[in-house]
Structure formats: structure tokens, C-alpha cells
Amino acid sequence: MAHELPPLPYAYTALEPHMDEQTVRIHHDKHHATYVNNLNAALEPYPDLQRKSLDELLKGIAAVPEAARNAVRNNGGQHYNHSMYWEVMAPNGGGAATGPIAAAIAAAFGGFDTFKEQFSKAALTQFGSGWGWLVKSDGKLAIEATSNAGCPLMEGKTPLLVIDVWEHAYYLKYQNRRADFIAAWWNLVNWEAVNKRFA
């Protein structure tokens, strides 16, 4: 069973004005699709790996034969990260965290505003291409950044929230202003989806 590009869970225009239609269209239909195609190509010689779910593949990345490991890490990581990115955004999202994750964030970071500030800083200061994350690691919440296709699943952590800070995620609308993109992105966070992952 080949890996498949998940359909965008909303219209291409749904995240306007914070995320423009053209960015969403190219990001999902071109960038994300290419990672899925390249992952399938990398798995082509390995029927046993083709039977694994994406989560299994990434958690067991060390067991992937060396000849395919980088391609699986990069394209599988990007497939996972992008699928999650679309999932944790929603039109009419944003605002302070809600539900059980709100209490956990308050306990771990001392309040939502402090969390937001620290998460934004991690995303902003990630040098070059990468991702900003809220994860659960050893039962505790933590903020992280990964470069390129880095995915916390590969390190045994549970990803709860993610922002894409590759330039392709924001350059058409925000050009070099990554901080403006991050500030706008907070208006899209789907706390219901984050709570589902946290549960």
C-alpha cells in the first residue's frame, strides 16, 4: 500500500488572510505531494517496509537499510510533518489553548503567553529550514525546533503542535518576515486537534 497525500482538510482559501491561497495550494499540492512520491520511490525495493505505517517507519528509522535510510528519513519525515501541520490548523482557529492541553501548558510553562513567546522564539530562531514543535517527551511538555525534515517521532517523542518555518511556508506572502508569519499563524491553531493528540 503506497503512502498517499492526505487531502487538505479545508479549502485552499480557508486560512486567509493569515495564510494565502497560493501558498497553501503550492505547499500542499506540490511540496507535500513531492515528499510523498519520493518516499514511495525510496520504499520501492523494500516490500517489507512498504507494509509499515508511516509512524512505524519513522519510529524504527534506525532499522531501515542504510541505502534507503536518508531518503526515508527526509521524505517520510516531511510527509509526517506536513500531514500534521495541515491537521493542527483550522479556519477560525487560534486564541489561547483550550481543553486539557491548556492546563498542561499552564503547568509546564507558567501560562499561555509565556508558552506562546517561547514557542515563537524557537520557531523564529531555527536557523534555515525546519520546524517548531510542542512535544510530550518522558511525560513532560517541551518546546523544540528541528532542522530540515527532523521529526520528534524519530526520537521517541509525541508531537502535539507544529509550525513549518521552511521559507516555502511563508515567502510568497511574508517574504523574509518569518516573525510576521509566526505571529499570524497563531490565529490558525486548531486546539481541538492538539487536544486529540494530547489525549
126 phi and psi angles, rounded to 5 deg: -60, 115
Residue 119 near Mn ion by CB under 5 A:
no
Report in angstroms the alpha-carbon separations of 2 from 41, 51, 85, 137, 146. Answer: 9, 9, 21, 30, 26
What is the closest distance, in whole angstroms, from the C-beta atom of residue 77 to Mn ion in the complex? 11
| Closest CB to Mn ion: residue number | 164
Distance CA 163, CA 46 (A): 31
Residue 57: burial class (beta carbons within 10 Å; 0-12, 13-18, 19+): buried
Q: Which residue from 17, 5, 191, 13 is spatially nearest to 112, judged by alpha carbons?
A: 191
Q: How far apart are CA 58 and CA 62, in angstroms?
A: 9
CB of 94 to Mn ion, least distance (A): 20
Q: Which one of the spans 8-16, 34-42, 131-139, 157-165 is the region binding Mn ion (CB under 5 A)?
A: 157-165
- Among the listed ranges 8-16, 43-51, 57-65, 159-167, the one in contact with Mn ion (CB under 5 A) is 159-167
Please tell me the count of residues contacting Mn ion according to CB under 5 A.
3
In whole angstroms, the minimum distance from the beta carbon of 142 to Mn ion comes to 22
Query: Does residue number 166 form part of the binding site for Mn ion (CB under 5 A)?
Result: yes
Separation between Cα atoms, residue 57 and residue 50, nearest integer Å: 9
Which range in 58-66, 131-139, 160-168, 183-191 contacts Mn ion by CB under 5 A?
A: 160-168
- Tell me whether residue 27 or residue 52 sits nearer to Mn ion (CB atom): 27
Among 58, 77, 145, 164, the residue binding Mn ion under the rule CB under 5 A is 164
**Residue of 84, 90, 96, 76 lying closest to 36 (CA atoms):** 76
Output the smallest distance, CB 164 to Mn ion, in A: 4
Beta strands in the chain (DSSP E): 130-137, 140-147, 158-164
Minimum CB distance to Mn ion, residue 82 (Å): 6
Name the minimum Å distance from CB 117 to Mn ion: 24
Q: Identify which of residues 119 and 131 has a Cβ nearer to Mn ion in the complex.
A: 131
Q: Is 80 in the site for Mn ion (CB under 5 A)?
A: no
Cβ-based nearer residue to Mn ion, 19 or 141: 19
Q: How far apart are CA 160 and CA 157, in angstroms?
A: 10
Site of interaction with Mn ion (CB under 5 A): 164, 166, 169
